[in-house]
A and B are shown apart, each in its own frame.
Chain A
Protein backbone atom coordinates (compact mmCIF):
# COMPACT_ATOMS: atom_id res chain seq x y z
CA UNK A 1 0.00 0.00 0.00
CA UNK A 2 2.68 2.44 1.11
CA UNK A 3 4.88 1.47 -1.88
CA UNK A 4 2.01 2.16 -4.27
CA UNK A 5 1.25 5.49 -2.68
CA UNK A 6 4.83 6.64 -3.19
CA UNK A 7 4.74 5.90 -6.91
CA UNK A 8 4.25 8.97 -9.05
CA UNK A 9 2.64 8.75 -12.48
CA UNK A 10 5.83 10.16 -14.12
CA UNK A 11 9.08 8.81 -12.81
CA UNK A 12 11.80 11.55 -12.97
CA UNK A 13 14.10 9.24 -14.92
CA UNK A 14 11.34 8.53 -17.43
CA UNK A 15 10.67 12.26 -17.92
CA UNK A 16 14.41 12.88 -18.32
CA UNK A 17 14.64 10.08 -20.87
CA UNK A 18 11.73 11.44 -22.92
CA UNK A 19 13.20 14.98 -22.91
CA UNK A 20 16.60 13.64 -23.90
CA UNK A 21 14.96 11.73 -26.75
CA UNK A 22 13.16 14.84 -28.04
CA UNK A 23 16.37 16.89 -27.84
CA UNK A 24 18.34 14.20 -29.73
CA UNK A 25 15.67 14.01 -32.46
CA UNK A 26 15.72 17.81 -32.81
CA UNK A 27 19.50 17.79 -33.13
CA UNK A 28 19.32 15.04 -35.77
CA UNK A 29 16.71 17.05 -37.70
CA UNK A 30 18.80 20.23 -37.56
CA UNK A 31 21.94 18.35 -38.65
CA UNK A 32 20.04 16.71 -41.52
CA UNK A 33 18.64 20.09 -42.66
CA UNK A 34 22.13 21.57 -42.60
CA UNK A 35 23.48 18.61 -44.57
CA UNK A 36 20.70 18.72 -47.16
CA UNK A 37 21.01 22.46 -47.43
CA UNK A 38 17.42 23.07 -46.42
CA UNK A 39 16.99 26.84 -46.67
CA UNK A 40 16.83 28.53 -43.30
CA UNK A 41 14.04 31.09 -43.20
CA UNK A 42 15.61 34.57 -43.01
CA UNK A 43 14.73 36.98 -40.27
CA UNK A 44 12.16 39.39 -41.73
CA UNK A 45 12.47 43.08 -40.90
CA UNK A 46 10.18 45.90 -41.95
CA UNK A 47 11.59 49.22 -43.16
CA UNK A 48 9.69 52.19 -41.74
CA UNK A 49 9.88 54.60 -44.68
CA UNK A 50 9.12 58.28 -45.01
CA UNK A 51 7.33 58.91 -48.29
CA UNK A 52 7.70 62.03 -50.39
CA UNK A 53 3.92 62.38 -50.85
CA UNK A 54 0.72 60.60 -49.87
CA UNK A 55 0.92 57.80 -52.42
CA UNK A 56 -2.29 56.23 -51.17
CA UNK A 57 -3.81 58.89 -53.42
CA UNK A 58 -3.91 57.44 -56.97
CA UNK A 59 -3.70 60.89 -58.62
CA UNK A 60 -0.42 61.65 -56.82
CA UNK A 61 0.96 58.14 -57.43
CA UNK A 62 0.26 58.38 -61.18
CA UNK A 63 1.39 62.01 -61.37
CA UNK A 64 4.80 61.20 -59.87
CA UNK A 65 5.46 57.95 -61.77
CA UNK A 66 6.81 57.77 -65.33
CA UNK A 67 5.01 54.53 -66.22
CA UNK A 68 1.84 52.91 -64.93
CA UNK A 69 0.75 49.51 -66.28
CA UNK A 70 -0.87 46.19 -65.49
CA UNK A 71 1.58 43.32 -65.74
CA UNK A 72 2.14 39.70 -64.82
CA UNK A 73 5.23 38.69 -62.87
CA UNK A 74 7.14 36.02 -64.83
CA UNK A 75 10.08 35.23 -62.54
CA UNK A 76 12.77 36.66 -60.32
CA UNK A 77 15.77 37.41 -62.50
CA UNK A 78 18.28 38.87 -60.06
CA UNK A 79 18.82 40.39 -56.63
CA UNK A 80 21.18 43.27 -57.35
CA UNK A 81 21.53 45.84 -54.65
CA UNK A 82 22.62 49.45 -55.10
CA UNK A 83 25.66 51.13 -53.55
CA UNK A 84 25.41 53.48 -50.59
CA UNK A 85 27.65 56.09 -48.99
CA UNK A 86 29.08 53.24 -46.89
CA UNK A 87 31.19 51.01 -49.15
CA UNK A 88 30.33 48.00 -46.98
CA UNK A 89 26.56 48.44 -47.24
CA UNK A 90 24.23 47.87 -50.20
CA UNK A 91 20.51 48.62 -50.33
CA UNK A 92 19.01 45.24 -51.25
CA UNK A 93 16.66 45.23 -54.25
CA UNK A 94 15.08 42.33 -56.14
CA UNK A 95 14.43 42.26 -59.88
CA UNK A 96 11.62 40.45 -61.69
CA UNK A 97 10.80 40.01 -65.37
CA UNK A 98 7.27 41.14 -66.14
CA UNK A 99 4.86 40.64 -69.05
CA UNK A 100 3.08 43.89 -69.82
CA UNK A 101 -0.69 43.38 -70.12
CA UNK A 102 -2.11 46.90 -70.31
CA UNK A 103 -0.38 50.26 -70.42
CA UNK A 104 -1.98 53.17 -68.57
CA UNK A 105 0.74 55.82 -68.53
CA UNK A 106 3.88 55.93 -70.70
CA UNK A 107 4.91 53.48 -73.42
CA UNK A 108 6.81 50.37 -72.37
CA UNK A 109 8.09 47.54 -74.54
CA UNK A 110 5.72 44.55 -74.27
CA UNK A 111 8.59 42.13 -73.65
CA UNK A 112 11.83 42.18 -71.68
CA UNK A 113 10.56 44.53 -69.00
CA UNK A 114 12.37 44.11 -65.69
CA UNK A 115 10.99 45.78 -62.58
CA UNK A 116 12.99 46.24 -59.39
CA UNK A 117 11.38 46.04 -55.97
CA UNK A 118 12.86 47.94 -53.01
CA UNK A 119 12.89 44.80 -50.86
CA UNK A 120 15.33 41.91 -50.62
CA UNK A 121 17.91 40.09 -48.55
CA UNK A 122 20.47 42.33 -46.83
CA UNK A 123 23.97 40.96 -47.43
CA UNK A 124 25.52 42.26 -44.22
CA UNK A 125 22.90 40.88 -41.81
CA UNK A 126 21.16 38.16 -43.86
CA UNK A 127 17.80 39.72 -42.96
CA UNK A 128 14.97 39.88 -45.48
CA UNK A 129 14.05 43.56 -45.65
CA UNK A 130 10.50 44.44 -46.71
CA UNK A 131 9.74 48.11 -47.31
CA UNK A 132 6.63 49.02 -45.29
CA UNK A 133 5.89 45.27 -45.10
CA UNK A 134 5.53 44.89 -48.88
CA UNK A 135 6.14 41.17 -49.57
CA UNK A 136 8.36 40.09 -52.46
CA UNK A 137 6.54 39.60 -55.77
CA UNK A 138 5.63 36.06 -56.79
CA UNK A 139 5.64 34.57 -60.31
CA UNK A 140 2.14 34.57 -61.81
CA UNK A 141 0.88 37.54 -59.81
CA UNK A 142 -1.07 40.20 -61.72
CA UNK A 143 0.09 43.58 -60.50
CA UNK A 144 -0.73 47.24 -61.17
CA UNK A 145 2.76 48.75 -61.36
CA UNK A 146 3.81 52.40 -60.98
CA UNK A 147 7.48 52.64 -61.94
CA UNK A 148 10.33 54.95 -62.93
CA UNK A 149 13.03 54.11 -65.48
CA UNK A 150 16.53 53.55 -64.09
CA UNK A 151 18.67 53.69 -67.25
CA UNK A 152 21.93 53.12 -65.33
CA UNK A 153 20.67 49.83 -63.95
CA UNK A 154 18.52 48.75 -66.94
CA UNK A 155 15.32 48.25 -64.97
CA UNK A 156 12.12 50.04 -63.96
CA UNK A 157 12.12 50.89 -60.26
CA UNK A 158 8.82 50.35 -58.44
CA UNK A 159 7.78 53.68 -56.93
CA UNK A 160 6.65 54.19 -53.34
CA UNK A 161 7.01 50.66 -51.93
CA UNK A 162 3.71 48.80 -51.65
CA UNK A 163 1.74 51.64 -53.29
CA UNK A 164 3.59 51.07 -56.58
CA UNK A 165 2.81 47.34 -56.80
CA UNK A 166 -0.88 46.65 -56.15
CA UNK A 167 -1.76 42.95 -56.50
CA UNK A 168 -5.00 41.84 -58.18
CA UNK A 169 -6.55 38.65 -56.83
CA UNK A 170 -8.53 37.84 -59.97
CA UNK A 171 -9.55 39.13 -63.42
CA UNK A 172 -12.39 41.17 -61.95
CA UNK A 173 -10.04 42.95 -59.56
CA UNK A 174 -7.45 43.61 -62.29
CA UNK A 175 -10.17 45.12 -64.51
CA UNK A 176 -11.25 47.34 -61.62
CA UNK A 177 -7.64 48.41 -60.99
CA UNK A 178 -7.13 49.32 -64.65
CA UNK A 179 -10.34 51.38 -64.68
CA UNK A 180 -9.36 53.08 -61.40
CA UNK A 181 -5.91 54.04 -62.61
CA UNK A 182 -7.10 55.11 -66.08
CA UNK A 183 -9.34 57.59 -64.30
CA UNK A 184 -6.45 58.67 -62.04
CA UNK A 185 -4.28 59.19 -65.12
CA UNK A 186 -6.88 61.60 -66.50
CA UNK A 187 -6.81 63.58 -63.23
CA UNK A 188 -3.17 62.99 -62.30
CA UNK A 189 -1.63 65.42 -59.87
CA UNK A 190 1.91 66.57 -60.54
CA UNK A 191 3.31 68.36 -57.48
CA UNK A 192 4.83 71.77 -58.20
CA UNK A 193 8.44 71.99 -57.17
CA UNK A 194 9.37 74.95 -54.96
CA UNK A 195 11.22 77.38 -57.32
CA UNK A 196 13.33 78.67 -54.41
CA UNK A 197 14.58 75.22 -53.50
CA UNK A 198 18.36 74.86 -53.43
CA UNK A 199 19.42 71.24 -53.30
CA UNK A 200 22.07 70.42 -50.73
CA UNK A 201 25.35 69.61 -52.43
CA UNK A 202 27.96 69.65 -49.75
CA UNK A 203 26.86 71.65 -46.72
CA UNK A 204 29.35 73.32 -44.49
CA UNK A 205 30.62 70.92 -41.89
CA UNK A 206 32.53 72.24 -38.97
CA UNK A 207 33.24 71.13 -35.45
CA UNK A 208 30.99 73.97 -34.32
CA UNK A 209 28.02 72.50 -36.18
CA UNK A 210 26.32 71.62 -32.91
CA UNK A 211 26.27 75.26 -31.83
CA UNK A 212 24.56 76.58 -34.97
CA UNK A 213 21.14 78.11 -34.65
CA UNK A 214 18.37 76.95 -37.02
CA UNK A 215 18.77 80.05 -39.22
CA UNK A 216 22.53 79.72 -39.36
CA UNK A 217 22.05 76.06 -40.11
CA UNK A 218 19.84 76.82 -43.12
CA UNK A 219 22.32 79.41 -44.38
CA UNK A 220 25.10 76.89 -44.10
CA UNK A 221 23.36 74.55 -46.49
CA UNK A 222 24.04 76.83 -49.44
CA UNK A 223 27.75 76.89 -48.87
CA UNK A 224 30.07 74.29 -50.22
CA UNK A 225 32.75 72.69 -48.13
CA UNK A 226 34.91 70.30 -49.99
CA UNK A 227 36.62 69.17 -46.81
CA UNK A 228 33.89 66.94 -45.49
CA UNK A 229 34.45 65.17 -42.23
CA UNK A 230 35.14 61.92 -44.08
CA UNK A 231 37.96 63.65 -45.91
CA UNK A 232 39.30 64.99 -42.63
CA UNK A 233 39.17 61.54 -41.09
CA UNK A 234 40.89 60.02 -44.12
CA UNK A 235 43.64 62.63 -43.92
CA UNK A 236 44.13 61.98 -40.22
CA UNK A 237 44.31 58.23 -40.85
CA UNK A 238 46.85 58.80 -43.61
CA UNK A 239 49.01 60.97 -41.38
CA UNK A 240 48.93 58.33 -38.66
Chain B
Protein backbone atom coordinates (compact mmCIF):
# COMPACT_ATOMS: atom_id res chain seq x y z
CA UNK B 1 0.00 0.00 0.00
CA UNK B 2 2.78 2.38 1.06
CA UNK B 3 4.86 1.40 -1.99
CA UNK B 4 1.93 2.00 -4.33
CA UNK B 5 1.35 5.55 -3.06
CA UNK B 6 5.08 6.24 -3.31
CA UNK B 7 5.05 5.10 -6.96
CA UNK B 8 2.07 7.35 -7.57
CA UNK B 9 3.96 10.29 -6.06
CA UNK B 10 6.99 9.46 -8.21
CA UNK B 11 5.00 9.35 -11.44
CA UNK B 12 3.15 12.53 -10.43
CA UNK B 13 6.44 14.34 -9.87
CA UNK B 14 7.73 13.17 -13.27
CA UNK B 15 4.59 14.51 -14.94
CA UNK B 16 4.96 17.80 -13.07
CA UNK B 17 8.62 18.11 -14.06
CA UNK B 18 7.76 17.39 -17.71
CA UNK B 19 4.98 19.99 -17.62
CA UNK B 20 7.35 22.52 -16.10
CA UNK B 21 9.93 21.83 -18.83
CA UNK B 22 7.23 22.16 -21.51
CA UNK B 23 6.08 25.46 -20.02
CA UNK B 24 9.65 26.71 -19.95
CA UNK B 25 10.27 25.70 -23.55
CA UNK B 26 6.99 27.05 -24.93
CA UNK B 27 7.94 30.76 -24.94
CA UNK B 28 11.26 29.85 -26.56
CA UNK B 29 9.45 27.90 -29.29
CA UNK B 30 6.98 30.75 -29.88
CA UNK B 31 9.86 33.23 -29.97
CA UNK B 32 11.79 31.02 -32.40
CA UNK B 33 8.80 30.70 -34.74
CA UNK B 34 8.36 34.49 -34.75
CA UNK B 35 12.06 35.32 -34.97
CA UNK B 36 12.16 33.50 -38.32
CA UNK B 37 9.97 36.34 -39.62
CA UNK B 38 12.42 39.04 -38.60
CA UNK B 39 15.88 40.20 -39.53
CA UNK B 40 18.52 41.03 -36.93
CA UNK B 41 18.70 44.68 -38.02
CA UNK B 42 16.58 47.52 -39.41
CA UNK B 43 16.90 51.12 -40.62
CA UNK B 44 14.73 52.58 -37.85
CA UNK B 45 16.14 55.06 -35.36
CA UNK B 46 13.95 56.42 -32.56
CA UNK B 47 10.79 55.46 -34.42
CA UNK B 48 11.87 57.04 -37.70
CA UNK B 49 13.34 56.04 -41.03
CA UNK B 50 14.95 59.11 -42.58
CA UNK B 51 15.79 58.38 -46.19
CA UNK B 52 17.87 60.18 -48.79
CA UNK B 53 16.01 59.96 -52.07
CA UNK B 54 18.47 59.39 -54.93
CA UNK B 55 15.93 57.57 -57.00
CA UNK B 56 16.66 59.36 -60.22
CA UNK B 57 13.40 58.48 -61.94
CA UNK B 58 11.38 56.59 -59.35
CA UNK B 59 10.57 59.33 -56.82
CA UNK B 60 6.83 58.78 -56.81
CA UNK B 61 7.26 55.01 -56.38
CA UNK B 62 9.38 55.62 -53.30
CA UNK B 63 6.78 58.02 -51.92
CA UNK B 64 4.14 55.37 -52.56
CA UNK B 65 6.05 52.71 -50.58
CA UNK B 66 6.79 55.15 -47.77
CA UNK B 67 3.09 56.08 -47.56
CA UNK B 68 1.91 52.45 -47.47
CA UNK B 69 4.15 51.47 -44.54
CA UNK B 70 3.75 54.81 -42.71
CA UNK B 71 -0.03 54.30 -42.73
CA UNK B 72 0.49 51.35 -40.37
CA UNK B 73 1.69 53.79 -37.68
CA UNK B 74 4.44 53.30 -35.06
CA UNK B 75 7.27 54.11 -37.49
CA UNK B 76 7.45 57.40 -39.38
CA UNK B 77 9.11 57.07 -42.78
CA UNK B 78 10.11 60.33 -44.44
CA UNK B 79 12.79 62.14 -46.37
CA UNK B 80 15.74 63.25 -44.26
CA UNK B 81 15.08 66.69 -42.74
CA UNK B 82 17.91 69.21 -42.93
CA UNK B 83 18.81 68.85 -39.25
CA UNK B 84 18.93 65.02 -39.29
CA UNK B 85 21.20 62.36 -40.70
CA UNK B 86 19.74 59.74 -43.04
CA UNK B 87 19.26 56.22 -41.72
CA UNK B 88 18.68 54.95 -45.26
CA UNK B 89 19.82 55.88 -48.76
CA UNK B 90 17.68 54.81 -51.70
CA UNK B 91 19.43 54.44 -55.07
CA UNK B 92 19.08 52.79 -58.48
CA UNK B 93 21.59 50.86 -60.57
CA UNK B 94 21.53 48.71 -63.70
CA UNK B 95 23.14 45.30 -64.17
CA UNK B 96 21.84 41.99 -65.58
CA UNK B 97 21.90 40.03 -62.30
CA UNK B 98 18.12 39.39 -62.40
CA UNK B 99 17.64 40.96 -58.97
CA UNK B 100 14.89 43.55 -58.64
CA UNK B 101 16.35 45.21 -55.60
CA UNK B 102 17.89 44.75 -52.20
CA UNK B 103 18.18 46.15 -48.69
CA UNK B 104 21.73 46.41 -47.35
CA UNK B 105 22.30 46.98 -43.60
CA UNK B 106 25.60 48.86 -43.71
CA UNK B 107 27.81 50.29 -40.95
CA UNK B 108 26.75 53.79 -42.01
CA UNK B 109 23.29 54.62 -43.37
CA UNK B 110 21.61 51.48 -44.75
CA UNK B 111 20.79 51.22 -48.42
CA UNK B 112 17.90 50.23 -50.63
CA UNK B 113 19.06 49.58 -54.18
CA UNK B 114 16.67 49.12 -57.06
CA UNK B 115 17.75 47.50 -60.32
CA UNK B 116 16.41 49.62 -63.21
CA UNK B 117 17.46 47.07 -65.83
CA UNK B 118 15.42 44.18 -64.40
CA UNK B 119 12.44 46.50 -63.95
CA UNK B 120 12.59 47.97 -67.47
CA UNK B 121 12.83 44.42 -68.87
CA UNK B 122 9.55 43.71 -67.03
CA UNK B 123 11.07 40.97 -64.92
CA UNK B 124 9.75 42.41 -61.66
CA UNK B 125 6.09 42.57 -62.65
CA UNK B 126 3.87 45.27 -64.09
CA UNK B 127 3.62 47.11 -60.77
CA UNK B 128 7.35 47.57 -60.30
CA UNK B 129 9.11 49.69 -59.08
CA UNK B 130 6.39 50.36 -56.45
CA UNK B 131 6.26 46.68 -55.44
CA UNK B 132 10.05 46.37 -55.25
CA UNK B 133 10.29 49.43 -53.02
CA UNK B 134 7.41 48.20 -50.84
CA UNK B 135 9.24 44.88 -50.37
CA UNK B 136 12.62 46.45 -49.63
CA UNK B 137 11.11 49.00 -47.25
CA UNK B 138 9.65 45.97 -45.41
CA UNK B 139 13.22 44.68 -44.92
CA UNK B 140 14.25 48.13 -43.67
CA UNK B 141 11.50 47.59 -41.07
CA UNK B 142 13.14 44.28 -40.07
CA UNK B 143 10.59 42.00 -41.76
CA UNK B 144 12.06 38.85 -43.26
CA UNK B 145 11.07 37.28 -46.61
CA UNK B 146 7.90 35.21 -46.69
CA UNK B 147 8.64 31.92 -48.43
CA UNK B 148 5.66 29.65 -47.83
CA UNK B 149 3.51 28.92 -50.92
CA UNK B 150 0.56 30.20 -48.86
CA UNK B 151 2.25 33.63 -48.79
CA UNK B 152 2.49 33.89 -52.56
CA UNK B 153 0.33 37.04 -52.59
CA UNK B 154 2.28 38.87 -49.85
CA UNK B 155 4.38 41.96 -50.46
CA UNK B 156 7.15 40.27 -48.46
CA UNK B 157 7.14 37.13 -50.64
CA UNK B 158 10.69 36.57 -51.88
CA UNK B 159 9.97 36.50 -55.62
CA UNK B 160 8.29 39.33 -57.53
CA UNK B 161 6.63 37.07 -60.14
CA UNK B 162 5.54 33.54 -59.29
CA UNK B 163 4.59 30.62 -61.57
CA UNK B 164 2.98 27.33 -60.66
CA UNK B 165 3.72 25.68 -64.05
CA UNK B 166 0.00 24.98 -64.38
CA UNK B 167 -0.48 28.12 -66.43
CA UNK B 168 -1.01 30.39 -63.41
CA UNK B 169 1.15 33.30 -62.39
CA UNK B 170 1.04 35.94 -59.64
CA UNK B 171 2.67 39.29 -59.23
CA UNK B 172 3.66 41.05 -56.06
CA UNK B 173 0.61 43.11 -54.96
CA UNK B 174 0.54 46.90 -54.70
CA UNK B 175 -0.87 46.90 -51.18
CA UNK B 176 0.22 45.33 -47.90
CA UNK B 177 -1.50 42.04 -47.13
CA UNK B 178 -2.63 40.79 -43.71
CA UNK B 179 0.54 38.73 -43.12
CA UNK B 180 2.74 41.73 -44.01
CA UNK B 181 0.76 43.92 -41.61
CA UNK B 182 0.79 41.24 -38.90
CA UNK B 183 4.59 41.05 -39.01
CA UNK B 184 4.90 44.84 -38.90
CA UNK B 185 2.62 45.19 -35.87
CA UNK B 186 4.12 42.19 -34.08
CA UNK B 187 7.50 43.94 -34.08
CA UNK B 188 6.64 47.64 -34.00
CA UNK B 189 3.35 47.54 -32.10
Q: Are B57 and A191 in contact (CB under 8 A)?
A: no
B165 to chain A, nearest CB (A): 7
Q: Are B54 and A85 in contact (CB under 8 A)?
A: yes
- Provide the A112-142 mask, 1 if CB < 8 A to any CB of B, else 0: 0000001000101111010100000000000
Given contacts A54-B163, A203-B57, contact A85 B95 (CB under 8 A): no
A96 to chain B, nearest CB (A): 15
Q: Are B92 and A85 in contact (CB under 8 A)?
A: yes
Q: Which of A4-12, A22-30, A155-163, A177-185 contacts B (4 or more CB under 8 A)?
A: A155-163
Q: Are B98 and A159 in contact (CB under 8 A)?
A: yes
Q: Is the interface of A mostly helix, strand, loop or mixed?
A: loop
Which residues of B have CB within 8 Å of A230?
56
Q: Which of A31-39, A43-51, A98-106 contacts B (4 or more CB under 8 A)?
A: A43-51
Instruction: Give bound CA distance, A60 to B100, whole Å.
Output: 16
Q: Are A191 and B58 in contact (CB under 8 A)?
A: no
- Give the contacting residue for A118; candidates B63, B91, B97; CB below 8 A: B97
In B76-104, which residues have CB < 8 Å from any A CB?
89, 91-104
Q: Are A82 and B159 in contact (CB under 8 A)?
A: no
Which residues of B have CB within 8 Å of A65?
98
CB of A173 within 8 Å of the partner chain = no
- Provide the B28-70 mask, 1 if CB < 8 A to any CB of A, else 0: 0000000000010000000000001111111111011001000
CB of A202 within 8 Å of the partner chain = yes
B15 to chain A, nearest CB (A): 44
Which residues of B have CB within 8 Å of A127?
106-107
Q: Are B53 and A229 in contact (CB under 8 A)?
A: yes
Instruction: Give bound CA distance, A29 to B108, whole Å.
Output: 28
In B165-181, which residues have CB < 8 Å from any A CB?
165, 169, 174-175
Q: Which of B5-13, B16-24, B114-122 contacts A (4 or more CB under 8 A)?
A: B114-122
Given contacts A48-B145, A200-B119, contact A210 B67 (CB under 8 A): yes
Instruction: Give bound CA distance, A160 to B158, whole Å.
Output: 12
Which residues of B have CB within 8 Å of A148?
96-98
CB of B75 within 8 Å of the partner chain = no
Which residues of A have CB within 8 Å of B100?
49-52
B45 to chain A, nearest CB (A): 17
Q: How many residues of chain A are within 8 Å of chain B by beta carbon?
A: 63
Sorting the interface of chain B by its residue count into under 10, 10 to 19, 20 to 34 or 35 or more gives: 35 or more
Highest count of chain A CB atoms <10 Å: which of B53, B91, B101, B145? B91
Given contacts A127-B107, A209-B59, A214-B174, contact A199 B160 (CB under 8 A): no
B39 to chain A, nearest CB (A): 7
Closest chain A residue to B113, Cβ basis: A91
Instruction: Give bound CA distance, A84 to B53, whole Å.
Output: 12
Closest chain B residue to A197, Cβ basis: B122
Instruction: Give bound CA distance, A203 to B129, whole Å.
Output: 11
CB of A228 within 8 Å of the partner chain = yes
- Give the contacting residue for B160; candidates A53, A159, A203, A209; CB below 8 A: A53
Which residues of A have CB within 8 Å of B129?
200
CB of A79 within 8 Å of the partner chain = no
CB of B183 within 8 Å of the partner chain = no
In B121-139, which residues have CB < 8 Å from any A CB?
121-124, 126, 129-130, 132, 135-136, 139
Query: Interface of A with B (CB < 8 Å)?
Result: 43, 45-55, 60, 64-65, 82-86, 89, 91, 93, 118, 122, 124-127, 129, 131, 148-150, 157-161, 164, 189, 191, 193-194, 196-197, 199-205, 209-210, 212, 214, 217, 220-221, 228-230
Query: Interface of B with A (CB < 8 Å)?
Result: 39, 52-61, 63-64, 67, 89, 91-108, 111, 113, 118-124, 126, 129-130, 132, 135-136, 139, 144-145, 158-163, 165, 169, 174-175
